[in-house]
């Protein structure tokens, strides 16, 4: 009988050992299952933060480019108000020149006015002012011209075209600061 007890004890020990090993294996499996989702979650968080960083970096680069472009544009058009205020003076010079040319007695006066006009025009051109070239006979475009009035066209081919330029237009850099004022044929 003691032999039967010993055999039972050995069998019980084997059963207990097998159960302990099974529990240990289950516990390890549970730990592995817990670790994998943790690693995956950490990797997902890293990927998410990396994506946020890349987006923020790209947004900052776009901001730098945009502000740099705006700064360059500001420097180009910083004198816009001064230029706009000088345009009537330029117009007055041009009107004075057309009237002085008729007077033959004021030749010296005309030469002085021409020199002053050319100097003013050259200075404004150096600062970026550019006259918009518009001539009688050009096709009217509402995007580029300002129509003051319409008159009956002298000929059929002048319909929809510019008959007369009342006031010159000017650009400062790439932007138009004053559209040319024109009369168009109808």
Residues 116 and 70 in one domain: no
The pLDDT of residue 30 = 47
* Cβ-contact 86, 126 below 8 angstroms: no
Token pair, residue 184, equals 């168009």
Q: 3-state class of 46 per DSSP? A: helix
Yes or no: say if 177 and 84 are a contact pair by the CB < 8 Å rule.
yes
Query: Residue 106's pLDDT is what?
Result: 77
**Rg of the chain in Å (alpha carbons):** 44
Same domain, 161 and 113: yes
In a shared domain, residues 175 and 153: yes
Reference 151, options 161, 137, 141, 143; nearest CA is 161
Cβ pair 169, 176 in contact under 8 A: yes
Last residue of a domain, one of 49, 76, 103: 76
Query: Taking a C-beta distance cutoff of 8 angstroms, is the pair 183, 162 a contact?
Result: yes
Q: Do 179 and 89 reside in the same domain of the chain? A: yes
* pLDDT score recorded for residue 11: 59
Residues 27 and 118 in one domain: no
Q: Which residues constitute the domain of residue 28?
A: 1-76
Tell me which residues of the chain have a pLDDT lower than 70: 1-11, 14-36, 77
**160 and 115 co-located in one domain:** yes
Domain boundary among 18, 42, 76: 76
Distance of CA 57 to the CA centre of its chain: 19
Based on the domain organization, do 93 and 62 belong to the same domain? no
Strand partners, 159: 185
The CB density around residue 163, as the number of other CB atoms within 10 Å, is 19
**Do both 52 and 96 map to the same domain?**
no
What single DSSP character describes residue 140? Answer: P
Verify that 24 and 56 share a domain, yes or no. Answer: yes
DSSP code per residue over 149-179: EEE--SSGGGBTBEEEEEE-EEEETTEEEEP
Instruction: Collapse the DSSP code of 141 into the 3-class scheme (helix H, G, I; strand E, B; otherwise coil) and give the result.
Output: coil
71 & 91 share domain = no
What is this structure's pTM? 0.57
pLDDT at 22: 58
Q: Which of 46, 76, 106 is the last residue of a domain?
A: 76
Tens-digit pLDDT profile for residues 36-73: 688 888 999 999 999 999 999 999 999 999 999 998 87
Number of folded domains that form the chain: 2
Does 93 share its domain with 170? yes
The CATH number covering residue 94 comes to 2.30.22.10
């Amino acid at each position: 009988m003691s032999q039967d007890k010993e055999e039972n004890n050995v069998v019980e020990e084997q059963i207990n050992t097998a159960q302990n090993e099974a529990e240990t294996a289950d516990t390890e499996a549970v730990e592995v299952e817990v670790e994998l989702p943790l690693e995956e979650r950490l990797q997902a968080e890293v990927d998410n933060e990396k994506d946020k960083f890349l987006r923020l970096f790209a947004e900052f680069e776009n901001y730098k480019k945009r502000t740099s472009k705006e700064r360059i544009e500001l420097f180009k058009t910083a004198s816009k108000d001064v230029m706009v205020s000088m345009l009537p003076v330029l117009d007055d010079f041009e009107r004075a020149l057309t009237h002085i040319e008729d007077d033959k007695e004021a030749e010296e006066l005309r030469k002085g006015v021409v020199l002053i006009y050319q100097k003013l025009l050259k200075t404004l051109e150096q600062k970026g002012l550019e006259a918009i070239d518009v001539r009688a006979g050009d096709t009217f475009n509402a995007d580029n011209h300002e129509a003051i009035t319409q008159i009956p066209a002298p000929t059929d081919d002048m319909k929809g075209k510019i008959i007369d330029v009342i006031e010159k237009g000017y650009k400062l850099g790439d932007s138009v600061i004053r559209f040319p004022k024109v009369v168009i044929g109808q």
